[in-house]
Amino acid sequence: MNNDKFALPFYWNDYEDIAMSLYEKFGDDFNETKIYRIRFTELLEWVLELPNFKGTREESSEGHLEQIQTAWCYEWRDNQD
């Protein structure tokens, strides 16, 4: 994961950046099926804990979390080659 102090911050609409960070954090521990079974309450906490993530709990929505799950699945698929 990029812990570089010069890395740009990201927010709730940066689905791909969040998905890449989650994949880097969890790797293949979560496959597509498991990603879609993650409770939103858990996913919310994981996103808030990511380095360089600057969004707030209050700014989150179910739509953001759904988009993050989908982007994470695509990221997982891209890394299965």
CATH number reported for the structural domain that contains residue 71 in this entry = 1.10.10
Phi/psi of residue 62, nearest 5 degrees: -60, -40
Kindly state the average pLDDT of the residues 43-63: 96
Quick check: 1 pLDDT over 60? no
Number of domains forming the structure of the chain: 1
Q: What pLDDT does 4 receive?
A: 64
Among 31, 39, 46, which Cα is nearest to 62's? Answer: 39
25 lies in a domain? yes
| CA–CA–CA angle 49, 79, 50 (5° rounding) | 5
Residue pair 51/2 in contact by the 8 Å Cβ criterion: yes
In a domain, 9, yes or no: no
Q: What does pTM read for this prediction?
A: 0.88
Give a yes or no: residue 52 inside a domain.
Answer: yes
- The pLDDT value recorded for residue 30 is 93
Residue 3 is assigned to a structural domain of this protein:
no
- The boundaries of the domain holding residue 65 are 15-79
